[in-house]
Amino acid sequence: MPAAELCPESYRFLQNMVYRESGIVLDGDKRYLLEARLTPIVQQLRLGDLNDLCAMLGRPLDHAVLKRQVVEAMTTNETFFFRDSAQYDALRSVVIPSLIAQRQDTRKMSFWSAASSSGQEAYSLAMMLLEMGLGDWRIRIEGTDLSTQMAERASNGRYLQIEVNRGLPIAYLVKYFTRMGLEWQLKDEARRMVDFSTCDLRQSMSARGPFDVVFCRNVLIYFDVESKRKILDQLHGTLFRGGYLLLGGSETTLNLTDRFERKVFGQTVFYQVS
């Protein structure tokens, strides 16, 4: 028997739950997305359809684990190595050299990849810093994501062929990875520079930082204006004076906050704390 369509009440139930637990806004008609992402959970639980899943989640029992699984399934984890390469170019040619000059006494730098997904963003940075000869500096890179599953994957530092084919220069693959069956394992030299954990960007960030550079790329697009404002204001507080925030290609601080100064580096824009 074909599965029943997601009814309007179930749709609203899932929309509200995903928003409450992650800040992700499922606007318009995202029925197809809910069905594509949640059908595997329905099958795993041997339920009839998505309406049954909603009925189960709506019962007054503690379904914390299942709720988590549903919310994580609704996150979009698309990422790849050296995504938006103009930003890495600007870091390599302007920002990091300036930090090297300023930090000769402490030889310390700190970075945050604030929606790190499966880790490619943070590890691209780690490899770039190693290539710049900073292996003996005290570099701290934090990678965090809402998704526990993604944070665990990222910690493993293991990638499929299809993932290393995306954005990673072949010379880096040869130098920083070891082949393990069908996968590629990032070597310890780069892996130990990054610590991954879970963090919901809507929670307080008062205990985080201070960082020299924060990457918060391709995640604000999923939030409403109010959440974006709150997150940007909080991120401002995690940066050193003079530190930089990096956003995704389609994201901006415009009409959200005027606390950052817009700096153009070649083809890209960084947001600086002045």
- Contacts with ligand SAM by CB under 6 A lie at 22-24, 75-79, 83, 115, 117, 121, 145-147, 150, 200-202, 217-219, 222, 248
Q: Which is nearer to ligand SAM, 200 or 261 (CB)?
A: 200
Q: Which is nearer to ligand SAM, 16 or 76 (CB)?
A: 76
- Using alpha carbons, select from 84, 74, 80 the residue that is nearest to residue 41: 74
Tokens of 33: 């997305």
- Nearest CB to ligand SAM, comparing residues 98 and 198: 198
Strand locations in 80-166, DSSP E?
108-113, 138-145, 158-160
49/72 with CB nearer ligand SAM:
72
Least distance (Å) from ligand SAM to the CB of residue 49? 25
What is the token pair recorded at 144? 């965090």
> What whole-number distance in Å separates Cα of residue 168 and Cα of residue 43?
36
Least spacing, CB of residue 123 vs ligand SAM, in Å: 11
Which residues, at least 6 apart from 13, have a Cβ–Cβ distance to it below 8 Å? 54, 57, 58
CB of 58: closest distance to ligand SAM in angstroms? 23
> How far, in Å, CA of 17 to CA of 192, rounded?
36
Cβ within 8 Å of residue 272, ≥6 positions away: 242, 243, 244, 245, 260, 261, 262, 263
- Which residue, 76 or 102, is less far from ligand SAM as judged by CB? 76
Type of residue at 168: L
Q: Which is nearer to ligand SAM, 51 or 124 (CB)?
A: 124
Nearer to ligand SAM, 49 or 269 (CB): 269
Token digits of residue 141: 């890179």
CA distance 231 to 202: 6
In the complex, minimum distance from the CB of residue 39 to ligand SAM, in angstroms, rounded to a whole number: 19
What is the closest distance, in whole angstroms, from the C-beta atom of residue 118 to ligand SAM in the complex?
8
Residue in this structure with the two tokens 């019962």, named with its chain if needed: 59
The four Cα atoms 222, 225, 228, 233 give a dihedral, to 10 degrees, of 180
In whole angstroms, the minimum distance from the beta carbon of 45 to ligand SAM comes to 22
Query: Minimum CB separation from ligand SAM for residue 201, in Å?
Result: 4
